[in-house]
Structure 1
Amino acid sequence: MLYWDSSFIILIPALLVAAWAQYRVSSTFNKYSKYKSLNGYTGAQVARMLLDSSGLYDVPVELIQGKLSDHYDPRKRVMRLSQEVYHGNSVASIGVAAHETGHAIQHKNRYLPLVIRNSIVPAVNFGSNASWILLIAGFILGIRSLVTIGIFLFTLVVLFQIITLPVELNASNRALKILEGKAILYSEELNGARSVLRAAAMTYVAAVLTAVANLLRLIYISRDRS
């Protein structure tokens, strides 16, 4: 964030949304973690069933440490579920497990936004690290070209966050349809899972807003300094 100045006000709305989204996803997950599914399946069992029904027999479901650290790794083709989701048989656990399965299915079907996101990961990782080095050096040394390059590299981070949003929303939609179609969750349970996944989606919306706000602030500072 470079430093505090009057332009920091650009970030405030995004930071407030991010804080609210983080609280929302945590509180919603905790709420529906207390609602046990009628079928009694655990998150790991649901993930395995959904993967197998999609022909993804070779994708293992592994246990990982951390809270809400669940993810699908497209490079190693592995699904990793946190302990609460892996062993849990709550509506929240099943919703999260199904969401990650949605990513595995996207990968299998070469869902275009996911393909694009995966293809730009190396450039985004480089841009995320190099942009701030160039920006700080450019502002301190007064070299505008370094600032311009830094802003361009940070734009890759913004692009990544924007592309991530439809990927996550699509994975959630796939999850809910599968859970309903296979009668893994029933009416009220589906509403609970939907609430959990909607709350999780807000964190990605917040990430987009924060990234865009940071980019706007950098452009403002750059023009102000020039």
Structure 2
Amino acid sequence: MYGFDPIYLIILGGCMLLSLLASGYVKLAFKRGQNVPIRSGRTGAEIARMILRDQDITDVEVVEHQGFLSDHYHPKKKTLNLSPDVYHGQNAAAAGVAAHEVGHALQHAQGDITMWGRSILVYPAYFGSMFAPYLVMAGIFMAAGHALVEGSGAYYVAVSGVALFAVSTLCAIIIVFNEFNASSRARVALVRLGVIDRGTEEATVRTVLNAAGMTYLAAAVAALAQLLYWAWRAGLIGGNRR
């Protein structure tokens, strides 16, 4: 039970590979999307402001934010932060990403449950992902390498670690639904307002947004895999307790 567990190293390696593949895919999709100009000729910033006006949202500011694919919506400051490539871009990739971030602003304005859950759980989830493994391992060490006995102090220490990791995993899953919902809102708005056509432009936007969603899906899968591992180490599954 002590030292590095080869099973965990395999899981960790698989999670890292999945994350790298998802990250590489979204960068490739974005670069390809930049090569598809939109006929409306609008920039990402113009598109974002257009959708916000259409939805009667007047308290969200669209600003330029440095960094590649650093685009995000800040719910507390109510700012839509777009990277230079998106802010000034007149292509399908820029249109999709800008509209996606507006989708988050719409979620916030309409009290979307996934936006609410994401905001509530993000800090506990960060805390859980950082400290949960140490709590589980502490419980195992307290049991002196033996099976954890239900009701013992060591058992409850380990279980508290698993519970923290469960919060982190739940947050990751909620984020997946939150991101895909924002992307769905983006595609609908872009087509309805005539910003993109229903042919190549819409297909490219869909590809870019789906690729971006895959990064969050990969993170959720990784979180779930690690949750199951630590639950097994704590004896909650697999019969490693008595």
Matched residue pairs, number? Answer: 225
Q: Does 1:168 align with 2:175?
A: no
Q: 1:193 aligns with which of 199, 205, 208?
A: 205
Unaligned runs of 5+ residues in structure 1 are none
The within-5 A match list for 1:1-226 is 3-142=4-143, 143-186=154-197, 187-223=199-235
Unaligned runs of 5+ residues in structure 2 are 144-153
Residue by residue, what CA displacement relative to the aligned partner does 1:54-108 show, whole Å, maximum 9, x if unpaired? Answer: 1111200111121111111112211111111111111101100000001101111
Residue by residue, what CA displacement relative to the aligned partner does 1:28-47 show, whole Å, maximum 9, x if unpaired? Answer: 10111122211111111111
Change (3 A) 1:196 1:214: same
Q: CA deviation at 1:218?
A: 1.3
Change (3 A) 1:69 1:4: farther
> What TM-score results when the alignment is normalised by the length of structure 2?
0.85
Q: CA deviation at 1:119?
A: 2.1
Name the SS of the counterpart of 1:148 in structure 2: helix
Name the SS of the counterpart of 2:234 in structure 1: helix
On the 8 A contact 2:124/2:167 being kept in 1, the answer is yes
On the 8 A contact 1:7/1:220 being kept in 2, the answer is no
Distance in 1 between residues matched to 2:158 and 2:128, nearest whole Å: 13
Distance in 2 between residues matched to 1:89 and 1:22, nearest whole Å: 23
> What TM-score results when the alignment is normalised by the length of structure 1?
0.90
Residue by residue, what CA displacement relative to the aligned partner does 1:178-209 show, whole Å, maximum 9, x if unpaired? Answer: 10001001121111111100111111111111
On the 8 A contact 2:43/2:89 being kept in 1, the answer is yes
Distance in 1 between residues matched to 2:47 and 2:40, nearest whole Å: 10
On the 8 A contact 2:36/2:91 being kept in 1, the answer is yes
Q: Aligned Cα RMSD in Å?
A: 2.1
On the 8 A contact 1:64/1:83 being kept in 2, the answer is yes
